[in-house]
Amino acid sequence: MELTSFVDRRAESKETRRLLGISRLVTLTGIGGVGKTRLALHVAHAVRSAFPDGVGLVELAELQDESLVAGVVAGALGLSAQPGRTQIQLLIEYLGPRQFLLVLDNCEQLVQAIAALVEGLLRHCPGLRILTTSREILGIDGEAVLPVLPLPLPAVDEKSLSVQGHGDDALALFAERAADVVQGFTITDQNYEAVSRICAVLEGIPLAVELAAARVRSLSPEQISQRLADRFALLTGGPRGVDARHQTLRAAVDWSYRLCSSTERNAWTHLSVFAGSFELDAAEQLLSSGPGTVQVLDVLTSLIDKSILIRDETNHAVRFRMLDTVSDYGREMLAQQNEAAKWRRRHRDLYFELARRADERWISQDQQVSIDRLARELPNLRQALAFAMSDPSRDGAGSLAFVNSLFRFWLARGMLSEGRHWSERALNRITDDEHSDLEKSRGLLVESVWADLQGDFDAGRSAVAQLWNLAARNSIPIVQARAAHADGFLAVSTGDVSRALSMLGQALDAFVSEHDITTQVEILLGLGRAHMLAGDYGDALESFRQVLAITEARGEVTYRSHAHWGSGVALWRIGDCDSSEQTLLQGIRLARARGDPLMTAVCLEALAWVADTRGDATRAATLMAAAEATIGMAGSSVVLFLSLGGDYHRHCAQSIQQSLGEIELEAVRRRASSLSLAAAAAYALGESAHGRAESRKQRRELTGREYEVATLVARGLTDKAIAAELVVSQRTVQGHVQHVLAKLGFHSRTQIAAWVVKQTGST
């Protein structure tokens, strides 16, 4: 009997009833406190009319002796023991002729014995259907398993904590349970944000939400929200009459921990060092090092079966994750065992190696795969970098090497501000030691590039000066070459043509001698820009042609898009608008494929110049406004637009204003500035959703953010990965995905992906 109201789980309830219609055994799985029992009771009540001989509930949580399982079930059904007959025989005789639903609650602690009983009953009782709740599946043939996930949440932006949407179930549960202890409690405009934050931090776990709501007896929602950093200490004191493992959040998780084998417990605690989600190869590398190697896939499968891990599948890969409550518990166990630093170092080394391999194979056909993988691993990379910066056992050069290995990835994704943040932190840690000069020289080169791309030329000059000082105190050729490279890149950005050509030419010769193909390509791109500054468009096109020859032959995509941009601008300057446009559009296609706002923006800007030359002021204005909005996503300035030396940007802006007038120009800018990266690229490519009436209607129904989320879904990103990409909470993303599904009338992420491809032609 339910003593408190049931917060509606329409989807789970409907799916459970559907499964009971096609399978004789349905198991509801999930972490402790997620609401499996309540859902089972609700469903049993809803379907009771379909079972004329009755519905029986058997509570097994307190049972510890597997030999008593059949007797407890028989006793719950009112069957008395009879001499000479086993309890199983009594159950078969009773249930055999009946149309009956048997609900077995909390099966996890004696799962093997319960599985054996269930299998025997189903074999001999054709009218019997069984609904079980368990933190671990029974593992019987024909078992239908439904994972019970936490309640939907209000979407809250993690930076501003401003509410982005509504998650009625979690909020409704909090409000109802809070009203039980403080009469008249309601969610108001004043406490809505705090309650939403509570539900988000507690991940919609019903037990946790209920325990938090009970605290309103002595704390306001705002105070509860502030204290949730120590959720296990705060969330205690469940209602009397509830079994002990549901009295506190810690007890619920403790129960799951005790149900695990020693191997599973070790895996749980060790895997808790991951941030967000992880893939099988990462888990294998983390867990398989050293003595006592385990079969990682087997233990991951076991933890999924026990509801410790959640499995997410995308177009790219299967990833595994823990709820924060579960991973927090694992990290506490590591700390108690004095092993936290050891496993965090393994995690750091794992992701350093992933970044290093990607950097070494940058100019290759594996580049896009590496970019996508590193993008999926951003939460883990950030955590590993943060630990590297704080670990006293790691020297500064090692931390800087980690940061340097991610330079090209950050650049490819247009993540200028983040790349610069980590570069500055790593450089500040390194000591003035000649043994670290090689790594430090690359770090200063990287730092100078970040500063130049963001228009901070004072910082760029400072980094270049430090590089020349470093080169002066040693005779390492590569340090000299890096100083010339950084100096030349700065000269390009500031318009010093003669110095740019001299320094970059010197650097190119050195890196040809070093057989460093990747850096040669980077310098050739700089030389192409320098030649354009000088007005030598033929030489510029030759530099970009060399880049394309190297990159196309090796399947590289990032620098190829840079070369298409440079070639497109040079072709425009010599008056070949048709070739320029096609070349720039190819640059956009390549940039869009890897989600790079920086190169998308500069190609959009150059296309605006082409459109203005052709007299298409509306298209030029739209492209220019979209470029300005898109480059903001990269944290860059318009330096790449303006560093070509002329007044292209200003001339184009003036021409557009004269053609359109202030009012029409402002209207165009307002519409274009709200375009997402994908929508801006689609507009430039002529692939926008204006082709069909239905597509127009669907596209208009989505907000700009929803469409952006849809495009990331189409790229195969998980909700966690999308959250990292957009710097919002995972619950915010989940809310957007649900809105997209509802507005488009879809039922799966695959349908969203197909729709996006139809809209934009993206690959």
Partner residues linked to 144 by β-bridges: 26
The more confidently predicted of residues 267 and 63 is: 267
pLDDT classification of 99: cutoffs 50, 70, 90: very high
pLDDT classification of 623: cutoffs 50, 70, 90: very high
Strands, sheet with 143-147, edge to edge from the N-terminal-most edge strand: 55-59, 100-105, 128-134, 25-29, 143-147
Q: Is residue 531 part of a domain?
A: no
Token duo for residue 4: 């408190």
Token duo for residue 519: 């850096």
The fraction of the chain above a pLDDT of 90, given in percent, is 45
> Is 682 in the same domain as 703?
no
| Residues 399, 404: Cα–Cα separation, whole Å | 9
Secondary structure (H, E, C), 686-710: CCCCCCCHHHHHHHHHCCHHHHHHH
Q: Which of 17-21, 160-164, 509-513, 677-681 has the lowest mean pLDDT?
A: 160-164
Q: Is residue 394 part of a domain?
A: no
> Is 698 in the same domain as 675?
no
pLDDT classification of 524: cutoffs 50, 70, 90: very high
pLDDT classification of 122: cutoffs 50, 70, 90: very high
| Residues 290, 303: Cα–Cα separation, whole Å | 21
Q: What is the dihedral of CA 256, 260, 266, 267, to 10 degrees?
A: -80
Q: What is the CATH number of the domain that holds 105?
A: 3.40.50.300
Domain boundary residue, one of 669, 687, 705: 687
315 has a pLDDT exceeding 60:
yes
Q: Using an 8 Å Cβ cutoff, are 148 and 41 in contact? A: no
Q: Which of 120-134, 504-518, 642-656 has the lowest mean pLDDT?
A: 642-656
Token duo for residue 484: 């010339």
Number of domains in the chain: 4
Q: What is the CATH number of the domain that holds 638?
A: 1.25.40
Domain boundary residue, one of 687, 706, 733: 687
Helix (H) or strand (E) holding 379: helix 378-390
Q: Using an 8 Å Cβ cutoff, are 236 and 247 in contact? A: yes
What is residue 59's three-state secondary structure?
strand
> Is 32 in the same domain as 108?
yes
162 has a pLDDT exceeding 50:
no
> Is 80 in the same domain as 105?
yes
> Is 104 in the same domain as 182?
no
Q: Is residue 543 part of a domain?
A: no
Helix (H) or strand (E) holding 490: helix 477-494
727 has a pLDDT exceeding 70:
no
> Is 562 in the same domain as 603?
yes
> Is 143 in the same domain as 211?
no
Q: What is the CATH number of the domain that holds 742?
A: 1.10.10.10
Neighbour-count burial of 435, counting CB atoms closer than 10 A to its CB (0-12 exposed, 13-18 middle, 19+ buried): exposed
Token duo for residue 382: 């950030």
Q: Is residue 119 part of a domain?
A: yes
Tell me the CA distances in angstroms from 167 to 35, 38, 501, 739, one per residue in order.
17, 19, 58, 12
Q: Using an 8 Å Cβ cutoff, are 570 and 558 in contact? A: no
Q: Is residue 131 part of a domain?
A: yes
**Range among 164-168, 249-253, 432-436, 527-531 with highest mean pLDDT value:** 527-531
What is residue 380's three-state secondary structure?
helix
Domain boundary residue, one of 208, 223, 251: 251
Q: Is residue 385 part of a domain?
A: no
> Is 58 in the same domain as 172?
no
Entry pTM: 0.70
What is residue 154's three-state secondary structure?
coil
For residue 728, give its domain range.
Answer: 693-760
Token duo for residue 505: 């030419």
Q: Using an 8 Å Cβ cutoff, are 35 and 12 in contact? A: no
> Is 564 in the same domain as 622?
yes
> Is 646 in the same domain as 698?
no
> Is 636 in the same domain as 652?
yes
> Is 102 in the same domain as 41?
yes
Q: Using an 8 Å Cβ cutoff, are 311 and 304 in contact? A: yes
